[in-house]
Chains A and B, each alone.
Chain A
Amino acid sequence: MATELDKVEIVTVGVGWTGGIIAAELAKEGAQVVGLERGKGRSTEDFQHIHDEYRYAIRYELMQDLSRETITFRNHRDERALPMRQLGSFLLGEGLGGAGVHWNGQTWRFLPYDLEIKSKTDERYGENKLGDDYTLQDWGISYDELEPYFYQFEKTAGISGEENPKGAPRSNPYPTPPMKETPITQRFKDAANNLNLNPFHIPSGNLSETYENPDGETINQCQYCGFCERFGCEYGAKSTPNMTVIPTALGTDNFELRMHSNVTELMYDGDTVTGVRYTDLQTGEEFIQPADIVVLTSYVMNNARLLLNSGIGRPYDPETRSGVIGKNYCYQILPGANGFFEEEKFNTYMGAGSLGAAVDDYNGDNFDHSDVDFIHGGVTTITQTGQRPINNNTVPNDTPNWGAEFKSQSIKYYHRVLAVGAQGASMPHRNNYLSLDPDYKDIFGQPLLRMTYDYTEQDRKLHDYLSEKCAEIAREMGADNVEPREISDHYNIVPYQTTHNTGGVIMGADPDTSAVNNYLQMWDVDNLFVVGASAFAHNGGYNPTGTVGALAYRAAEGIKKFREENGQLVQGKRSSKQV
């Protein structure tokens, strides 16, 4: 029934940041690349009427159509997983450029500590600081090895930033200077300096000045219009795949982009993948696209799901702790504190997705954890992303959420609240994982991905610690009333938290405990690369895209090597006892 097409050299499943980077790098080398993207095409011209909070930020027009496919969710293994029927906790991207269209643009490098977290934690605090249930692993690559790839992504995207005194060391300055200083960022920095912390401007994909990247693509200067997160940029001033790597790939004439093409299966003969099966969503026609190399470049969820539905790799089993596909799913926690000001108003309706200031003093292993029973931390920031009136109704804790008092207080504080927040790193736990759902199906009749996830003790302790640090900064900023945030009893799929989902197809040095090597090549299938935050062995205390971009450039180099050498690119180090 499916039409078999002529073989191509490389096919990517999804065309966002990772698919775009792979396509651009390999097409430049002369490889024939096909990009299969299930959403529709879009570019800056599609965003002329983007300043519509209701359409884009509330009804999620740029996000995934869940009527076709969603995930199921449960907090723990003895609960029935139910479909995530509406978007909430995280916002999955859909369409050309993926979530790279509507991201905020904060572009960090994970810390050297992150990449060797298991070794470095054991070394400083002894083995088993967290206990055996936490499946902490090194990533199979050091920061020094990854550093050039970080810079490659930053140059492509034109990132605007300045030196971070506590961040990962850099060989080169940022391609463009930091964004503007505002009264809000200045106040945060003054408070941080008073507390002997080390503030700096957030590295930003909303550019401080017009920039031409090494491929000749131009990104414009940010206008601080306040419509960034959940929106596309009408000025072409946000770095996106659509502004950079996708036009670069298309410009080579070696890249063919097929829209509305929904991949449902990887064709696997037990040894290699021979291609992919996909459906054209506009005609209903089914195709098989044979390829020498298949690159999974969809989001975390679909990278894991396509492997599981195609019978590739060993599914993770939390009972026996064997298998790897679906293992180490991580998220983040969002500690913080709201500062309410009685006498001052701030221009919080202005802003940009990455406009803000930060301190890294409480991130990674930048402080001594000997006397606390958690590890890691998170970047602590104030952001000025542009507050919009439906989504921003912050009121003091004892205020009802409707009626006269709510109306008055939400109006009064609309420009009088400054929030200091942290992105708390997320450590893997044996009971937090991805698998196939036994009951629920997508429109093609294939099992949905099932997420089993709850907060851990580590999360709760880290949350308390960081919320108090945020509150200290907010008080120092002069807020009249400071309210630290509290973590909920369980992880809740309903309120928006963050679209920083990671893991499930993790990288490492040991084929027994990881799914891909440090080129993101599958240990089990030499011609299959799985690229994205799915490779993170845990989630760090930053927005993930900078690290995703670095890993995509690393994978692109691996694919180039594979075209010449074939076979496994890395010698696996089996530590153990095969399970």
Chain B
Amino acid sequence: MRSIFKTGAAALAATTMLCGAAFAQELSGTLRIISDMSNPGPRAVMEGLAADFDALHPDLTVELTIVDREAWKTQIRNALSANPPDVVNWYAANRMGPYIDAGLFMDITDWWEAGDYEGLESVRGAMTQDGRQWGVPYTYYQWGVYYREDIFNELGLSEPATWEEEIANCQVIVDSGRACYTIGTKFLWTAGGWFDYLNMRTNGFDFHMELARGEVPWTDDRVRATFANWRQLIDMGAFIEDHQTYSWQEALPFMINGEATAYLMGNFAVDQLRNGGLTDDQLDFYQFPIITPGLPQGEDAPTDTFHVASGAQNVDAARAFLAYVTSADVQTAINGPEGLGQLPVNANASVADDEFIQQGFEMLSQNAQGGIAQFFDRDWPAEMASIGMEGLQEFMVFPDNLDDILERLEAARQRIYQ
């Protein structure tokens, strides 16, 4: 859909910082922020951001409320409609849709036009709907295969680049008594990641997005081809057993204990794997292998965002805060190894010196010509995503139910996109 780094080079060239202009005016009153950065690391980052911004503006009081990340997904509606705060966290792309349609997010196209967000040109697309911009991103991260380098070495394997190599590798791993991949599908979305990659590699990024927009039936032969590839892995025992009982965190020990060798995940898993006792010598990363030769690779890179509520009281302060968060220096700081440990959205910010973040940055800037997708549950309309992911989980447990699943998804598609 949108390539964050298509214009990466051009954006890098433009190094001037214009957002200083926004700071010039004196801000006063109270800036109310509700954030969903509730995990310990991100929480510290958010609290630091609020405190620093508060200190920058003596007359302004920043009032920060941090809501549990999962709970926020259901609370945001009430928060935005009754006594709305000034600034809130949310996600890019389709997930913005309901709030834009309901008029709860403020249209900030003018601020983009005014040059508030120098260095963010490449991510503008992910914030655009109906030709207008509705917020700013503050971080994003790559997805890919994190694997046990030491086990690969022990078995004499190398990073697979093609599907044939992938299958061959996996056979060796299975024969050694391990599972190729750990996964926990209790909360469904992890299966969405697998479908994203298999479909983007089998049919290409553009087809993937057509499917997301409901333009292709789920019973299409190309979709079946994706599932056939997936089934190859399932049938050879590539995934751990009983994955439908585990959350994604509960699936981590399989990789840490060496019972499974790899995990298709977002970069946030690295922190947990390191905490679990794996060193960087044991861990490595590769891009999901190519299935159909010649297709430009699409990648999942979910983007997290800030938005201004349309009922915001202190719009000036909100504007200054968005400019502050996206400025190159702040981006470097909050996405650094001490902060979120993810990729900065500002092209002028520097990418942290971390093995995985560097590889992710390189992959997304050079090897994702197909395009950047947000993720299954963000690109598909919410209802289709939930029905879809349930079907994907069922397929992973009972691959024989495929016809039934696809017909169900197709019926849902015809109802939801009408």
User: Do A and B come from the same complex?
Assistant: no
Residues of chain B whose beta carbon lies under 8 Å from any beta carbon of chain A: none
